[in-house]
Amino acid sequence: MNALQKIWCRTYQTVMKAATPLLPWREPELLEFENGTRGLGAFVRNKGYAKMLVVTGPNVYKKGLADELIRGLDENGVKYALFNRVVNNPTIDNIEEAYALYKAEGCDSIVALGGGSPMDLAKVVGARAAKPNKSVKKMKGLLKIMKRIPDLYAIPTTAGSGSETTIAAVVSDSKTHEKYPINDLSLIPRYAILDPKLTAALPPSTTATTGMDALTHAVEAYIGRSNTKKTKESAEKAVKLIFDNLLKAYEHGDDIEARRNMQRASYYAGVAFTRAYVGYVHALAHALGGFYGTPHGLANSVLLPVVLEYYGESAHKPLARLAEITGICTDKDDDAAKATKFIDRIKEMNALMDIPSNIDGIKPEDVPEMAKRAAAEGNPLYPVPRLLGEDELAKIYGLIM
């Protein structure tokens, strides 16, 4: 990246940081019911909705994780239509299929149950309902909706994506193999329901990669240049909770307290990166997902320590602070040593949870286009500690092949 490009990126980021406090930021209202998701039926009974669209994936549905939610709606006479065909990394076609059901059934509100994919799809369905004449492709980027979407209730079944708090929805184009974010304040769910019991049956591998996904959100937000006091506090809470609870949740799936703490960590991380943005880990991971369908949490897990090392000195100070907060360094260490210990701890956690250090199947001939797409996503938007161009992003792909 040449000097003029760097000046453009930093100028753009400075303007964005100055402008964002003027926007109507909000957080979802947190709901926790004694009877878990079953309690949502009583909560929405008097909301006056004509019909709710329940959005989930086939695996979540087959495992019975939607049963209590549906039972609560039935018990309270709440009408709903069910869309349980969300694919991983939801495509435009998948979104349009759900939106068609939303319209055909006369829905006016949405419940998303699952990980990041159902929530992403539900958000974009809501955006299509708010802006029916605007295609999904034209929503790509920042603030392309700017209109209230139907009430969205987000119920995470993983502790990682943080989608229950964020302005972001990620869409895949099956025709171009492109994966890109849609960012708009209207996409922040109106309500978030945390029920740790929903995560208790997660396979250890999913617990691991979704937990590292949440860590990536918190760390990338924290080391960026667009932090606020609130985003720093939220990121610090998230990182501490993840370091203290992820391995417990991985090794003992029925540890409800660890599961509850991981859900809170994911929420805090979502609050942090919604305002402070993410960085090149996400840009690189999105391109991998678009080309190969690589699960987002896995891609982030593998890329996080590699990218943090690549940033070098530019990220040492904030990483050193996170090392202090998590208690993995001594006062005698300088910032570089503390940052190294923090990155080494991430690598150790990955190894303990059988997360690989590379992504199989990356084709060298695909790397230039993936790097191009990662650069287009990251620059000038992401306020990263060190700006990287296509050549450097391609080198990072080489480090994980």
Whether residues 89 and 184 share a domain: the answer is: yes
Enter the tokens of residue 354.
Answer: 């059988």
Whether residues 169 and 308 share a domain: the answer is: no
Whether residues 215 and 165 share a domain: the answer is: no
Question: What is the structure's pLDDT at 330?
Answer: 76
Q: Which residues in the chain land under pLDDT 70?
A: none
| Assigned domain for 166 exists | yes
Amino acid at 320: A
Question: What is the structure's pLDDT at 279?
Answer: 98
Question: What is the structure's pLDDT at 332?
Answer: 83
CATH of the domain at 111: 3.40.50.1970
| Assigned domain for 25 exists | no
| Assigned domain for 26 exists | no
Number of structural domains (the chain) is 2
Whether residues 8 and 36 share a domain: the answer is: no
| Assigned domain for 280 exists | yes
CATH of the domain at 317: 1.20.1090.10
Show the CA angle centred on residue 74, arms to residues 70 and 76, nearest 5°. Answer: 120
Q: Measure Cα distances from 178 to 11, 274, 380 in Å.
A: 27, 22, 18
Task: Residue 386: count other Cβ atoms within 10 Å of its Cβ.
Answer: 17
Answer with the one of 166, 199, 232 that is the final residue of a domain.
Answer: 199
Whether residues 337 and 213 share a domain: the answer is: yes
Whether residues 157 and 209 share a domain: the answer is: no
Q: How far apart are CA 256 and CA 377, in angstroms?
A: 37
Whether residues 271 and 123 share a domain: the answer is: no
Whether residues 129 and 237 share a domain: the answer is: no
Whether residues 193 and 209 share a domain: the answer is: no
Query: Phi-psi bin for 393: left (phi > 0), alpha (psi -120 to 50), beta?
Result: alpha
The three-state (H, E, C) secondary structure of the chain, written as one string: CCHHHHHHHHHHHHHHHHHHHHCCCCCCEEECCCCHHHHHHHHHCCCCCCCEEEECCHHHHHCCCCHHHHHHHHHCCCCEEEECCCCCCCEHHHHHHHHHHHHHCCCCEEEEEECHHHHHHHHHHHHHHHCCCCCCHHHCEECCCCCCCCEEEEEECCCCCCCCCCCEEEEEECCCCEEEEEECHHHCCCEEECCHHHHCCCCHHHHHHHHHHHHHHHHHHHHCCCCCHHHHHHHHHHHHHHHHHHHHHHHCCCCHHHHHHHHHHHHHHHHHHHHHCCCHHHHHHHHHHHHHCCCHHHHHHHHHHHHHHHHHHHHHHHHHHHHHHCCCCCCCCCHHHHHHHHHHHHHHHHHHCCCCCCCCCCCHHHHHHHHHHHHHHHCCCCCCCCCCCHHHHHHHHHHCC
Q: How far apart are CA 213 and CA 246, in angstroms?
A: 11
Q: How far apart are CA 50 and CA 37, in angstroms?
A: 20
Whether residues 8 and 40 share a domain: the answer is: no
List beta partners, residue 179.
172
| Assigned domain for 23 exists | no
Whether residues 298 and 375 share a domain: the answer is: yes
Question: What is the structure's pLDDT at 119?
Answer: 96
Whether residues 244 and 352 share a domain: the answer is: yes
Show the domain range for 311: 3-18+202-399
Answer with the one of 148, 182, 199 that is the final residue of a domain.
Answer: 199
Answer with the one of 168, 199, 230 that is the final residue of a domain.
Answer: 199
